[in-house]
C-alpha cells in the first residue's frame, strides 16, 4: 500500500474507543493504515478494539490487535515485543492513553490522584522507556505523545490530576526529544483541545453536566473561536504529520489542535 507511512510499523495505544465515532486512538490508527503503515492496535479492552480493527481491515489495511495495561512496565515491554514479532520493527509509537477525573486537590482523593498520574503520564514514560532501545538499534523512529490543552490552560473544569499529568507529558516529550535526537529519534506532542469524541457521551457529560450531553457540548463549543468542535480525526492528522518524513526537522515541540481556544484569553 502506498502512502506517507508506506513500509512503516506503528504502535497506537488507546486504539479502541469509548463508543461509536472518532476517538483519537481509533482515528489515528485508521489514518496510519490508510497511509500505508502496519499498525499494532493496543487497548486494555478487547471489545473496544474490535470496531477499529474491522474498520481498518475492511479498508485493506494491516493491523494486529494487542491487549495491554500501559501502566504496567512488563506489559508495555511485551507490547513493544509484540510489534517487533508482528512487523519486524517499530518505526512509530503513539502514546495516546488518557482520561480525566474531576476535582482539585481538596475534592480529588489521593488514590485517584495517583491513578491520574499513572494513566496519563506514567504510561507515556513506560512507552518511551521500552520503545527507545528498539528505535535506537534501528537507527531512528518517531514518538508522538498525546497531551491536552488542560496541560496548558484552565479549560473550564478543575481536574488537577489530569492537568498536572498532561503538562508533564509535554515536558517529558521535550526532554526525551533532546536526549535522543542524536539517535535519530524524534519526539513531539499533539495537544488536542475540547473535541467531540465518544468520551464526551461516555464519561464527561456525567462528570460535568449531570449527564446532559447537549448542555456540555454547547458549553465546550462556546470556548472555541472557530465556532465548532473537531473530533479525533483532527488529532489524527496532526499525529500523521509529526510521524511522517515531512516532519523530519521537527522534534521537541507541540502541535496544538484546539480551534484557537488556548490562544484566546478570557
pLDDT in tens, 124-164: 999 999 999 999 999 999 999 999 999 999 998 899 999 99
Q: Count structural domains, the chain.
A: 1
Asked whether residue 123 is domain-assigned, the answer is: yes
Sole residue written with cell 472557530 = 226
pLDDT in tens, 91-109: 999 999 999 999 999 999 9
pTM over 0.85: yes
Asked whether residue 219 is domain-assigned, the answer is: no
For the chain, what is the mean pLDDT? Answer: 94
pLDDT in tens, 71-85: 999 999 999 999 999
Mean pLDDT of 238-253: 98
The predicted pLDDT at position 265 comes to 66
Domain that holds residue 249: 9-196+232-255
The predicted pLDDT at position 17 comes to 85
Asked whether residue 192 is domain-assigned, the answer is: yes
The predicted pLDDT at position 2 comes to 83
Mean pLDDT of 230-254: 98
Determine which one of 126, 162, 198, 224 is catalytic: 162
pLDDT in tens, 19-69: 888 999 999 999 999 999 999 999 999 999 999 999 999 999 999 999 999
Backbone angles phi, psi at 39, to 5 degrees: -125, 130
What is the CATH number for 148?
Answer: 3.40.50.720
Q: Which three cell numbers stand for residue 246?
A: 515531512
Query: Which residue intervals of the chain are DSSP H helices?
Result: 24-34, 46-58, 73-87, 110-117, 123-138, 160-180, 198-199, 205-208, 213-221, 232-243
Q: Is the pLDDT of residue 120 over 80?
A: yes
Asked whether residue 220 is domain-assigned, the answer is: no
Q: CA dist 41 to 15, 32, 62, 79, 222, Å? A: 5, 11, 10, 10, 34
- Tell me the range of 16-30, 220-234, 242-256 where mean pLDDT is highest: 242-256
- In the residue annotation, 125 being an active-site residue is answered as no
The predicted pLDDT at position 216 comes to 80
Q: Which three cell numbers stand for residue 85?
A: 514479532
The predicted pLDDT at position 204 comes to 61
The predicted pLDDT at position 81 comes to 98
- Spatial contact of 171 and 177, defined as CB atoms under 8 Å apart: no
Asked whether residue 217 is domain-assigned, the answer is: no
Asked whether residue 222 is domain-assigned, the answer is: no
Q: Is the pLDDT of residue 210 over 90?
A: no
- Spatial contact of 195 and 259, defined as CB atoms under 8 Å apart: no
Longest CA span, the chain: 53
Q: Is the pLDDT of residue 226 over 70?
A: yes
Q: CA dist 207 to 118, 133, 204, 212, 249, Å? A: 20, 39, 5, 10, 40
Asked whether residue 136 is domain-assigned, the answer is: yes
The predicted pLDDT at position 206 comes to 55
Asked whether residue 120 is domain-assigned, the answer is: yes
Residue 42: strand pairing partners: 13, 66
Amino acid at each position: 500500500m502506498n502512502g506517507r507511512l508506506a513500509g512503516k510499523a506503528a504502535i497506537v495505544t488507546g486504539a479502541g474507543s469509548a463508543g461509536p465515532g472518532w476517538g483519537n486512538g481509533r482515528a489515528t490508527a485508521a489514518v496510519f493504515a490508510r497511509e500505508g503503515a502496519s499498525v499494532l492496535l493496543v487497548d486494555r479492552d478487547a471489545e473496544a478494539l474490535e470496531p477499529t480493527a474491522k474498520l481498518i481491515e475492511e479498508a485493506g489495511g494491516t493491523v494486529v490487535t494487542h491487549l495491554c495495561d500501559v501502566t504496567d512496565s512488563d506489559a508495555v515491554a511485551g507490547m513493544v515485543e509484540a510489534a517487533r514479532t508482528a512487523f519486524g520493527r517499530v518505526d512509530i509509537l503513539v502514546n495516546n492513553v488518557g482520561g480525566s477525573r474531576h476535582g482539585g486537590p481538596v475534592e480529588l482523593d489521593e488514590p485517584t490522584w495517583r491513578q491520574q498520574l499513572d494513566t496519563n503520564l506514567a504510561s507515556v514514560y513506560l512507552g518511551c522507556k521500552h520503545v527507545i532501545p528498539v528505535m535506537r538499534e534501528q537507527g531512528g523512529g518517531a514518538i508522538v505523545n498525546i497531551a491536552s490543552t488542560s496541560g496548558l490552560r484552565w479549560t473550564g473544569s478543575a481536574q488537577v490530576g489530569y492537568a498536572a499529568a498532561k503538562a508533564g507529558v509535554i515536558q517529558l516529550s521535550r526532554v526525551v526529544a533532546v536526549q535522543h535526537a542524536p539517535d535519530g529519534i524524534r519526539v513531539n506532542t499533539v495537544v488536542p483541545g475540547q473535541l467531540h469524541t465518544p468520551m464526551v457521551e461516555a464519561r464527561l457529560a456525567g462528570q460535568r453536566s449531570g449527564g446532559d450531553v447537549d448542555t456540555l457540548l454547547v458549553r465546550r463549543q462556546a470556548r472555541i473561536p472557530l465556532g465548532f468542535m473537531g473530533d479525533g480525526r483532527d488529532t489524527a492528522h496532526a499525529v500523521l504529520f509529526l510521524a511522517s518524513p515531512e516532519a523530519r526537522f521537527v522534534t521537541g515541540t507541540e502541535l496544538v489542535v484546539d480551534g484557537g481556544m488556548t490562544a484566546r484569553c478570557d
